[in-house]
Structure 1
């Protein structure tokens, strides 16, 4: 259903009229069939949106998704996605009209702030159902229109539903004059772990091989971290003499030379990929296959997420480890997945350390059964709590798409 124009909107469009500027990006052709347009305002939210897109397309085969980012986005920073990204055109009336005429989306989701009145109001006028997720009172009005009184309210009112993550955001949006019935609290999109089952017999056999010994895992360990991890293991063995370390290297080519180094350090080693057996006196189990982490996360109550202790790498995704029941330890450099590590730290599912000594002390502390179990539970709850809400959102999107398709067929 289209929206009536306001005088402020008419003035805003006249003042922000302009010839669309070349973007420097080639515009892909519109895919055939049903198209959902999702705009992501913040690079930190891209991975969660990407995960949502995968789940939605599994539920609705044949659906194409257009992901857009702000006009001035540096696409190098928006790399955490396996879908093509298209920058929105500048906040100009002609550019907004051209964007919608080219893509003709069947529905739009806007994630976050930075609302652009021209493209949002034109979408509403074309009868495109629009929903705002993680809404903020943040409208990106062109400079010429900043004095117009009700552009913000009119922009928000173009959405059929507005989801916010805090009551404060809800109050700010309602104060603009937006009907309260449109605004609802809803948790932010989060990443849902994709967990592959592991053969039960192998899991039982591996646990049996450790025969009740304390075990910890160091996953995705970079070559620069080898000495720190091994020093921490030696330190921890002073308190837990039967302690076993599963050492998973980030670079598979490092496995063979690392085994020689372990032998020179008088650490008894078994190479999992070579088929070595885990024996009662084995102190380090060397692994390099990323797929095998599905086994090791299940076996180890405590996991150090490597590639985080030395600067410059940014860490690896901790979501599978948390979902599979491991208490997490990490270093200070988690820039590649900062929001997720911050969330895990915040609920007590992860600990940050900065030195090998701190790592050894923390391993010993967390191997106390109750503590590791409580941390693991907190992590599992964090990464799985949003699943019902995501299902609700997928149902809502499908309902709007079905309704829009029925309206389109009837015209």
Structure 2
């Protein structure tokens, strides 16, 4: 079984403890073992970052290394198919998620983050895939920052691909460290230590709540720290957090309801386009004109209940998604919405034999209900009868 190491000071470092990543689509198979990090590994990474800051790299050399790494990742984003397999996709299915990647990363290189003297901690949610993580890393590194990158344990190969590309392209040792952890031991230590000038993270609301609690425990922010009688010291750590939210859409009377039904199915539950409802920006709420509502709904259900591979569900990778789905099911029923489509989960990581819900569609949803207000991207779609006011189309983020 392949061992995947941390990368500190430009070198791979295996730890005494590791965690195994099961293949979510192939029961009994493993994708490998990853080193498990904690305070000791974090301290080594910070020491390497301090040494890197004490001998600043030539900006031109840094830019060349970043440009070379960008080309390498864009040319071969998933050389061993590890990222795709971690999600449950076939390697070729990742193509839409890397289309135009080189151009986007080159733009990030031309627009570096705010310069600073302290190190930056980066922890991005796996569902952002190559764009979100890549753009964040390129901007921070282009600004001359030392970066400690914590991989998302659901898809650790994603962070590993970028880290190795940057290091192999000649980025200065210590400028980038990669740490793996299947829990939040390393993350908690990183926040509690108050050693980072900025934390760049993404995820769901509960993840942000934990991050803020870890930072408050250190007295380092986010938010002011109070000393004595009303004296306020500026927080040492800036939390730059990107929330993951569902998208919304409007179907107008002038739209083709059959075409819109299929398109909404793809944008809400497509295994590639929406990662089966797990991707940030996937559709979660649709307001449809009453005149075409019946035909639109029929086309939507026909797409979801057929046998097309495009709608074959992926495993749910976030453990809390099951609780959110079951809460959403109960909420919809309590508020009088009509459940018109339900699919049991096919697989998960870790396995959840008692999980009941994997995909939900509600109709007759009150636009002012709590169900309509859910913003987390989970495999749940709420259909509302109403007028979009000429706003036909799709939009990302919460209402």
Q: Calculate the TM-score normalised by the size of structure 2.
A: 0.32
- TM-score, scaled to structure 1: 0.31
Greater helix proportion:
1
